[in-house]
Amino acid sequence: MNEKFEKLPLKQDLIKNLAELQFDSMTPIQASSLLEVLGGVDVIAQAKTGSGKTAVFGLGILNSLDIQGMNLQALILCPTRELAEQVAKEIRKLARMLKDVKILTLCGGTAEYHQERSLFHGAHVIVGTPGRVLRLLKKGSLRVPRIKTFVLDEADRMLDMGFHDDIMAIVAHLPRVRQSLLFSATFPDEIVELGKSVQRDATYVKVDTQHAPNAINQIFYELESHKEKNETLLKILAKYKLGRTIVFCKTKQITNDVAKFLNKNSIFAEAIHGDLMQNERTSVLTKFSNHSLSVLVATDVAARGLDITELPAVINFDLPTDAQVYIHRIGRTGRAGKTGQVFSLFLKKSSHLLDKIEDVTHTPCEVEDITNFCLTESNLYDLVPPMKTMYIGGGKRNNLRPGDILGALTGDVNLNFSDVGEISIYNIVSYVAIKRDHIDHAVKKLQDGKIKNRKFKVGLL
């Protein structure tokens, strides 16, 4: 199959937009499944995170979309709010040259009242989490009789998070004649059974499920007891001078303890786990994404659905008992042609886990001795992120756009473009990354100034 998008039966506006986005050629998952998806066939596909699968179902949906009127034609389910927002953002980017396409996200963390108002005005595509979608279906606010395409993205994560019953309840509301697309990084028996339940004669596609052999450098450290883990973690950070890093732990309590320990040692870290409120979760992830936070300490459930670009390293503070979970963790680094590093701590009594990992990675587990590396004032270092984050008490509901905020910062505040990092705009709040040396000045000036001739509450996140 030709790997150029222009050879596919796509709308010309979509092909033109792909060229402008510099999507020159297809990734393996796109080359293997896009033609099937465009042909209306059910597809069950296995590919690693970051493989370009969003464009597969996104282009399939947009190519068949009837933009006349406001009939809901596609429903995409994702395991987390962050992934749903990311998927919606990517599809909006793909739809830039199609007029009046409305894509709506339905997730927790936003008042149902506002989502119901948006649904009243109609949408073409819904991207949401199973819990909120099912709730709105039961209330009658969301109606899906004309759905043509149903997508389960990161289906294995949704099953791990206990969404099986919600998914099946949602499927019961859908029309029987539809296209169903299922994407998963791993293929346990539960995924196969789910596919049989929601699809008809699905085409199975499996590509790019492993990272390139040299893309990720994996090192293991054998420890006598859990008490050695904190110091070993510091030694790894000091020896390898890592940038942004995700540290995976097995429980919520351990994530909190590790984050506190790192902060006491001058490393900017925060924990993310299931007990956080949605606004707290958004705050932590935004800071990590925009380089205002150096280390994210996470449980597996909390980290699912994250897509952090250019992540240099992953550390397994606790080695998972499931080798597939290990694969999913290390898939956070070494992406998009970049190299990554993975460091794993394990106890002697758990050395059998390395055999499982070798079986799935087809790579010998290299065990390194770090006991001779001593922490001293000369090799300890402060892991200080280059940015800090400012919050603005206004967002999409106030019609704020990135250009409005950037204009105020480079105009009235007199910052250079290079002083401003990522700008994230949500419904009622916006976050802006500013270089650490300029953040206090920027906050003070905007507290006294205006954006789009309006005063907003401004402060340091």
Average pLDDT, the chain: 89
pLDDT in tens, 142-193: 999 999 999 999 898 888 888 999 999 999 999 999 999 999 887 888 898 9
Predicted confidence at residue 336, as pLDDT, reads 61
Predicted confidence at residue 94, as pLDDT, reads 93
- Per-residue confidence at 359, pLDDT binned at 50, 70, 90? confident
- Per-residue confidence at 375, pLDDT binned at 50, 70, 90? confident
Predicted confidence at residue 455, as pLDDT, reads 93
CATH topology of domain 5-206: Rossmann fold (3.40.50)
Predicted confidence at residue 445, as pLDDT, reads 92
Residue 1 predicted with pLDDT over 80: no
Residue 241 predicted with pLDDT over 90: no
Predicted confidence at residue 214, as pLDDT, reads 58
Phi, psi of 212 (to 5 degrees): -55, 140
Within the chain, all domains assigned CATH 3.30.70.330 are found at 387-460
pLDDT in tens, 88-142: 989 998 998 898 899 999 998 788 988 999 999 899 999 999 999 999 999 999 9
* Least confident stretch, 132-141, 292-301, 334-343: 334-343
Residue 342 predicted with pLDDT over 50: yes
Predicted confidence at residue 198, as pLDDT, reads 95
Residue 246 predicted with pLDDT over 90: yes
> CA 326 to CA 344: how far, in whole Å?
10
- Taking alpha carbons only, the member of 131, 126, 120, 10 closest to residue 59 is 10
Within the chain, all domains assigned CATH 3.40.50.300 are found at 5-206, 216-367
Residue 280 predicted with pLDDT over 90: no
> CA 199 to CA 249: how far, in whole Å?
35
Asked if 360 and 326 count as a contact pair (C-beta separation under 8 A), the reply is: yes
CATH number of 216-367: 3.40.50.300
CATH class belonging to 387-460: alpha beta
pLDDT in tens, 191-234: 989 999 999 999 999 875 555 545 788 999 999 999 999 999 99
> CA 121 to CA 162: how far, in whole Å?
32
Residue 302 predicted with pLDDT over 80: no
pLDDT in tens, 33-56: 999 999 999 999 987 666 789 999
Predicted confidence at residue 332, as pLDDT, reads 80
